[in-house]
Structures are given as C-alpha cells and as structure tokens.
Structure 1
Amino acid sequence: MKQHSDRDTDYMAAAGCFCLASRQAARKITRLYDSYMQGSGVRATQFTILSQLMLRGEMPIGKLASFLGMERTTLSRNLTLLEGKGWISINAGEDPRARVIAITAPGRGVVRRGFPYWSKAQAHIGKMLGADGEAALKLLSSRNLE
C-alpha cells in the first residue's frame, strides 16, 4: 500500500470544515440569545428546555434528549440545575429506571417572563440569517444526516 506524504495532501481544505463552521455558528447564536435573555433570569439553553416541556408536556429524559439533539449526560446536568430551581420535576416513570421530566408552575412562569426576551433574540437572528438561511437551518436540523 502506497504511503501518502503531507506534500500530497491539501490540508487547507480543512479551513472550510462544515463541522467547525456549524459549531462556531451555534456558539455565536447561543451567545446572542443569552445576551438578549440576560434580563429574564434564564439562559437560552434553559429557556429551550422549559419551553419545549411546556409545549409538549412531560416526557422521559431519553425522548427529551433526542428531541433536543442533546447528549443525555449534558441534558442531565442541565435538568439537575432546573430541578434545583424548582422549574421542573423529575419522577420515576412506569419503568422505575426511566425518569420522566415535567415543567412545574414556577417553570411555566419562567417561560412566560422569558418569552419577550426570546422573541427579540429570535427576530434579530432571523434578520441576520435571512429567509434562505432560516430555511437551510431548519432543513439541516430536521434531517437525519447519518
């Protein structure tokens, strides 16, 4: 088998890496949402979890992780913080090993208070992305890329 040398490989192609660009964009978008959300007392990631529970109702942690596109361990850390604030409850499901997550009345209040801040951030980012950018982002987030 022929060995490749570094002279044969154009590593500059990695400068246009889609994975890197998507991660950078996600971090920038999250920081922008967080800057808008500062006055609400809730971070953008917390608002996302709470608002989705408010919209969709209680669900097992695995289903919530899958829906949010988060690793279970990352979500579990976030849920522990939300439970500590009294914004969610975590209870055993039908299978005692499964935990079911539900938003509490104080959690619903957090979503109601945070919504105007979130709306401003959403409008700002929508303008930045434009219609084509919004459509591309929604398409990528809805597809199974595997």
Structure 2
Amino acid sequence: MKQPSDHDTDYMAAAGCFCLASRQAARKITRLYDSHMQGSGVRVTQFTILSQLMLRGEMPIGKLAGLLGMERTTLSRNLTLLEDKGWISISAGEDPRARMIAITAQGRGLVRRGFPHWSKAQAHIGKLLGADGQAALKLLGSRNLG
C-alpha cells in the first residue's frame, strides 16, 4: 500500500486541532478561576477536590480520580499537598491497599470561605461561554468519547 507523500498531505489541518484548542481553553479557564480564587487561599484545582469531598463524603482514591476525570498519580500528588495542609485525611480502607480520602473540618472551612470566590469565577466564565458553550462543555465532560 502506497503511503501519501508530504506534498499530498495537508498538515495545516493540524492547526485547527480540537485537542490543542481544548487544552489551551482549559489552561485559560483555570487561570481565570485562580485569579478569582486568589483571596481565598486555595487554588481552583484544590477547591474542586475539596468541594467534591464535602459534597460526596469519604471515598477511595480511585473513585475520586474517576469522578474528577484525573489520573490516579496526578490526584495522589495533589492529595499529598492537601493532607500536608491539614485539609484532608488519608487512611486505609477495609482493604488495606485502598486509601480512603476525607475532608477535614479545616478543609470544610476553606471550601466555605472559597465558595464566594469560586461563585464569581463560575459566573464570569459562564458569561464568556454563553448558554451553548456551557451546554457543549457539560456534554463533552459527561460523555464517553471512546
């Protein structure tokens, strides 16, 4: 089977890569949330982990990683920081290999103090995205794309 030559391939199509655009957008959105969160003493990535634990209660690290759409190793690095600050506790589950993650009273206080900052960021980004952008983002986040 003959491979296409470079002059037959339109590599400029990669300039419109959806993966690249989504990563750029995610980084910009995170920076915007963080700018709003500055006065709260917590970054939006930390706030997201803490708020989910506050809403859903103690859970194994694997379940939390799935809920957040994060790799376990990335989440583990974040959790170590949160534990060092006293915002979460990590303990062995019924299965000693399973680590259970729970928010502490200090972590709950941080979520309460951070919520107004997060809320302003959410409204700002919601306005930038518009109704269609919000719906598309939520749909892509909830859909299995495989």
Scaled to the shorter chain, the TM-score interval is over 0.9
The 1-side partners of 2:119 and 2:76 are apart by: 26
Q: Which residue of 2 aligns with 1:63?
A: 63
The percentage of aligned residue pairs carrying the same residue is 89
In the alignment, what sits opposite 1:30? 30
Structure 1 vs Structure 2 CA RMSD: 0.5
* Unmatched segments (≥5 aa) in structure 2: none
Within-5 A mapping of 1:131-142: 131-142=131-142
1:58-101 C-alpha deviation (Å, 9 max, x unpaired): 10000000100001010000000000000000000010000000
1:31-50 pair list within 5 angstroms: 31-50=31-50
Aligned pair count? 146
- How far off its partner does 1:4 sit? 1.6
Scaled by the length of structure 2, what TM-score is found?
Answer: 0.99
1:3 Cα deviation after fit: 2.4
- Amino acid paired to 2:48: T
Residue 87 of structure 1 corresponds to 87
Superposition misfits of 4+ residues, deviation over 3 angstroms:
none
Aligned partners of 2:20, 2:115: CA distance in 1, in Å?
30
1:103-118 to structure 2, matched below 5 A, reads: 103-118=103-118
Q: In structure 2, what is the Cα distance between the partners aligned to 1:81 and 1:114?
A: 17
The unaligned stretches of length 5 or more in structure 1 are: none
